[in-house]
Structure 1
Amino acid sequence: MKRKCLIEDVDGNLDSFEKKIRANFASTSNSTSATMHKNSIWYRSLLDAEKTCLKEDKIKKIHYKFDDGKEMVEEYNIDTQVLLRRAWKVKAKLGGEGKWDVEVGDPIPDGIPTNMEAADITERNDQPQLTRRNTRVNLEWRIRNLPYPIETYSVSANNDERRIIIRTTNKKYFKKLEVPELDRLNLPLEQANIQASHKYNTLIIVYKKPQPLLDMEKEWYEELKKVKAVKDIPDNCKAQ
């Protein structure tokens, strides 16, 4: 029995915030200066956002409220100063609290699944599952449940689409990966920065962070030190 080709695209509908970032990329030339990030829409929006800090053990959580009404939560390891998770608040269609869309890190637990949900998870546990990781020097994607050997995969940088594109020679899998960290700083994708490996049925894509991104992350963590931690846990942080 032949396996069907699995085609996934993470484009989605761009909201006004992301459209501004894309427009800024098209109109601004790339710069390699150590302070280029300060002129980006992303960095200015972080500075202008209302921020709340919470510390739990070795984790620092920052809750952002942006001028356009969006909400974001970041979690950092205090010892390594590495971002562990970034999630965006998605408003519920029929009102209510809404859920968190995880950009980087493990999914946020969403309660105990019902019997129907558990059955659905069982049926799909052999499908490819993507997670994002962040290290001090790399951006990382892990795609589980891909049994093909490493020589099957083609991983390429496509600056026309602003995506890392994964293909297989057997045409069983195809995926486009967004790299929002580069889009936000108007940085091009570099093929030389991409490495791929495969083990335990997991395809691992690693992208070496360019120097401007490293500079921005280092400076932003220093900026976050100015945000004093609260003693009481805010309601909008309890669910994290």
Structure 2
Amino acid sequence: MSLIPPGGKKQAWYKEGIQRIHTIMPDQTECIEEFDIKENICVARKWRRVDKLGRISDWEYEIGELPQQQQDKSKQVTTDLFAASNQPVITRHDSEGYYLFKITQMPWPESNYQVTVEDNQLVVRTANKKFYKKLTITDLDWQKIQLVNNFIKFKSFNNTLVIFYQKPPSIVAFEKAAKGARSQNIKEGGEGCRAE
């Protein structure tokens, strides 16, 4: 049902075309996954952790984008200064056949970019040495699947670099089985039902 590793207490509910699965792990880490029912894709996955002093962190988005109000707040630093608006912003999205990474504020031509696999991560670099970033696909790490260069494609347009990583057949089959389990647990409303 959920795409994260098994364990923890899960609740699932359906509201306005989105199915949400809320998982609380034994260490009190929380994860909320949101699935679009029509498209059958994960549109958001966010995590909240508890540190050693018992403080709860803000939600960290692994998949999807922060709501605009949170984006504005996250740019603010304790000195009330704001981060430069031309800094690249990375978001991950899922489609039926690909994992997608969108990197905004990337003004260079497509020929300047190189995306390769190193240490089971996607490494994005530019020929002009202005950008370097390692990206992890946690879904593949959880399944212990190695990344391969042949599954990578990328496009650059409107100052945005979009990286496509093709989902391996075993992941497509796993997500199809998870969709079947989710469809059996759909209940309308915000109260929720126990899923696992």
RMSD: 2.8
* Aligned match for 1:85, one of 44, 48, 56: 44
> Alignment partner of 1:52: what SS?
strand
Preserved CA contact (<8 Å) 2:102 2:162: yes
> Alignment partner of 1:124: what SS?
coil
Is residue 141 of structure 2 the alignment partner of residue 183 of structure 1?
yes
Instruction: Report deviation, 1:58.
Output: 0.8
Is residue 95 of structure 2 the alignment partner of residue 143 of structure 1?
no
Preserved CA contact (<8 Å) 2:106 2:161: yes
Measured at CA, do residues 201 and 92 of structure 1 come closer, stay the same or move farther in structure 2, by a change above 3 Å? Answer: same
Preserved CA contact (<8 Å) 2:19 2:186: no
Measured at CA, do residues 227 and 155 of structure 1 come closer, stay the same or move farther in structure 2, by a change above 3 Å? Answer: same
Provide the residue aligned with 1:163 in structure 2.
121
Structure 2 unmatched runs, 5+? none
1:26-105 aligned at under 5 Å gives the runs 45-46=5-6, 48-91=7-50, 95=54, 97-105=56-64
Preserved CA contact (<8 Å) 2:35 2:43: yes
> Following the alignment from structure 1 to structure 2, what is the Cα–Cα distance between the partners of residues 70 and 178?
20
TM-score by length of 1: 0.69
> Following the alignment from structure 1 to structure 2, what is the Cα–Cα distance between the partners of residues 140 and 115?
23
Structure 1 unmatched runs, 5+? 1-41, 235-240
Runs of 4+ in 1 over 6 A off after TM superposition: none
Measured at CA, do residues 175 and 112 of structure 1 come closer, stay the same or move farther in structure 2, by a change above 3 Å? Answer: closer
Provide the residue aligned with 1:129 in structure 2.
89
* Aligned match for 1:211, one of 150, 155, 169: 169
Instruction: Report deviation, 1:66.
Output: 2.4
> Alignment partner of 1:225: what SS?
helix
Which structure shows the higher strand fraction? Answer: 2
> Following the alignment from structure 2 to structure 1, what is the Cα–Cα distance between the partners of residues 141 and 161?
24
Preserved CA contact (<8 Å) 1:52 1:229: no
> Alignment partner of 1:130: what SS?
strand
TM-score by length of 2: 0.84
Measured at CA, do residues 84 and 43 of structure 1 come closer, stay the same or move farther in structure 2, by a change above 3 Å? Answer: closer
1:211-230 aligned at under 5 Å gives the runs 211-227=169-185, 229=187
Percent of residue pairs identical: 25
Which structure shows the higher helix fraction? Answer: 1
> Alignment partner of 1:222: what SS?
helix
> Following the alignment from structure 1 to structure 2, what is the Cα–Cα distance between the partners of residues 198 and 49?
40
> Following the alignment from structure 2 to structure 1, what is the Cα–Cα distance between the partners of residues 115 and 4?
33
Instruction: Report deviation, 1:232.
Output: 4.3
Preserved CA contact (<8 Å) 1:45 1:66: no
Give the length in aligned residue pairs. 189
Preserved CA contact (<8 Å) 2:36 2:43: yes
> Following the alignment from structure 1 to structure 2, what is the Cα–Cα distance between the partners of residues 44 and 63?
11
Preserved CA contact (<8 Å) 1:51 1:227: no
